[in-house]
Amino acid sequence: MQKIYTNIIQIAGDVIMVEASGVGYSDIAQITTRRGVSLAQVIRIDEEKISLQVFAGSRGISTGDQVRFLGMPMRVATGENLLGRIFNGSGNPLDHGPELTEHLTDIAGPPVNPVKRIIPNKIIRTGIPMIDVFNSLVESQKLPIFSIAGEPYNELLARIAVQAQIDIIILGGLGLKYDDYLFFKETLEKHGALNRAIIFMHTAADPVVECLLVPDIALAVAEDFALKGKRVLVLLSDMTNFADALKEISITMEQVPSNRGYPGDLYSQLASRYEKAVDFEGAGSITILAVTTMPGDDVTHPVPDNTGYITEGQLYLKNAVIEPFGSLSRLKQQVNGKTRSDHRAIMDTMIQLFASYRQVVEKQAMGFQMSTWDNKLLQYGRLFEKKMMSLEVNIELEKALDLGWEILAQSFTPEETGIKRSIIEQYWPR
Partner 1 sequence: MEKRTGKIVKINANMVTVQTAGQLIQNEVAYILASEARFKAEVIRIKGNCAQMQVYESTVGLKVGQAVEFSDELLSVELGPGLLGQIFDGLQNPLPALAKKCGFFLKRGVYLDPLEDQTRWDFTPLVKVGEKVLAGSWLGFVPEKIFKHYIMVPFALAGVFEVISIAAPGKYNLKQPIAQIKNLAGKIYAVFLQQSWPVKIPIRAYAEKLRPTEPLVTKIRLIDSLFPISRGGTYCIPGPFGAGKTVLQQLTSRHAEVDIVIIAACGERAGEVVETLKTFPELVDPRTNKPLIDRTVIICNTSSMPVAARESSVYTAVTIAEYYRQMGLNVLLLADSTSRWAQAMREMSGRLEEIPGEEAFPAYLESRIASFYERAGLVRLHGGINGSLTIGGTVSPAGGNFEEPVTQATLKVVGAFHGLSRERSDARRYPAIDPLISWSKYTSFLDLAKQKLGHEVLVRSQEIFQMMKVLGEEGTSLKEYIEYLKGDFFDFVYLQQNAFDLIDEATTKERQIYIFNFIYEILIAQLNLGDKEQALRFFQKLKQLFRTWNALEFKAAEFKKIEAEINLLVSEKNF
Please report whether residue 60 would count as binding partner 1 according to CB under 8 A.
Answer: no
Among 2, 3, 35, 48, binds partner 1 (CB under 8 A): 48
Q: Which of these ranges, 2-10, 114-122, 151-159, 397-405, lies near partner 1 under the rule CB under 8 A?
A: 114-122
| Contact status: 372 vs partner 1 (CB under 8 A) | no
Bridge partners of 18? 8, 50
**CA-wise closest residue to 196 among 164, 229, 220:** 164
Burial class (CB in 10 A: 0-12, 13-18, 19+), 84: middle
Angle between helices 153-163 and 178-190 (to 10 degrees): 30
Strand partners, 293: 147
The distance of closest approach from Cβ of residue 420 to partner 1 in the complex, given in angstroms and rounded to an integer, is 11
Q: Which of 96, 113, 425, 430 binds partner 1 (CB under 8 A)?
A: 113
Distances in Å between the Cα of 321 and the Cα atoms of 172, 239, 317, 390 are: 23, 20, 6, 6
328 belongs to the binding site for partner 1 (CB under 8 A): yes
Check if the beta carbon of residue 285 is closer than 8 Å to that of residue 140. yes
Hey, which residues does 8 pair with through a beta bridge? 18
Under rule CB under 8 A, residue 415 binds partner 1:
no
Instruction: Please tell me whether residue 264 binds partner 1 under the rule CB under 8 A.
Output: yes
217 with 105: CB under 8 angstroms? Answer: no
Selected range binding partner 1 among 150-158, 288-296, 328-336, 386-394, rule: CB under 8 A: 328-336
CB of 52 to partner 1, least distance (A): 13
139-168 residues near partner 1, rule: CB under 8 A: 140
Does 287 participate in binding partner 1 (rule CB under 8 A)?
no
**To which H or E segment does residue 163 belong?**
helix 153-163
Instruction: State the minimum distance, in angstroms, from the CB of residue 181 to partner 1.
Output: 29
Q: Closer to partner 1 at the Cβ: 91 or 313?
A: 313
Q: Pick from 33, 163, 272, 394: which binds partner 1 (CB under 8 A)?
A: 272
Tell me the closest approach of the beta carbon of residue 371 to partner 1, in angstroms.
9
d(CA 247, CA 252): 9
Q: How far apart are CA 219 and CA 306, in angstroms?
A: 20
H/E run at residue 169? strand 168-176
Closest distance of CB 259 from partner 1, Å: 6
Question: What's the closest the beta carbon of residue 346 comes to partner 1, in angstroms?
Answer: 15
CA angle 300, 302, 303 (to 5 degrees): 105
111 binds partner 1 (CB under 8 A): yes
In the complex, what is the shortest distance from the CB of residue 223 to partner 1, in angstroms, rounded to a whole number? Answer: 9
Stretch that binds partner 1, among 59-67, 252-260, 395-403, 422-430 (CB under 8 A): 252-260
**Under the criterion CB under 8 A, does residue 46 sit at the interface with partner 1?**
yes
Interatomic CA distance for residues 36 and 59, integer angstroms? 12
Residue closer to partner 1, measured from CB, 47 or 99 = 47
Q: Which residues pair with 323 in a beta bridge?
A: 316
Interface region with partner 1, contact rule CB under 8 A, candidates 55-63, 91-99, 105-113, 204-212:
105-113
Residues 4-33 that bind partner 1 (CB under 8 A): 21-27
Q: Is 162 helix (H, G, I), strand (E, B) or coil?
A: helix
Stretch that binds partner 1, among 205-213, 262-270, 381-389, 397-405 (CB under 8 A): 262-270
Q: Which of 11, 17, 45, 409 binds partner 1 (CB under 8 A)?
A: 45
Indicate the residue among 344 and 399 with the shorter CB distance to partner 1: 344
CB 393: neighbour CB atoms within 10 A? Answer: 17
Among 308, 361, 383, 393, binds partner 1 (CB under 8 A): 308
With CA atoms as reference, report the closest residue to 208 among 69, 58, 70: 58
SS3 letters for 197-261? Answer: EEEEEEECCCCHHHHHHHHHHHHHHHHHHHHCCCEEEEEEECHHHHHHHHHHHHHHCCCCEEECC
Residue 261 found at the interface with partner 1 (CB under 8 A): no
Q: Give how far the C-alpha of residue 287 lies from the chain's centroid of Cα atoms, to the nearest Å.
A: 9
C-beta closer to partner 1: residue 158 or 277: 277
| Gap between the Cα atoms of 126 and 285, Å rounded | 17
Summarize as ranges the residues that interact with partner 1 (CB under 8 A). 21-27, 44-48, 73, 108-120, 140, 227, 255-259, 263-265, 267-268, 271-272, 275-276, 278, 280, 299-302, 305-306, 308-310, 312-314, 325-326, 328, 330-331, 333, 352, 355, 363, 366, 368-369
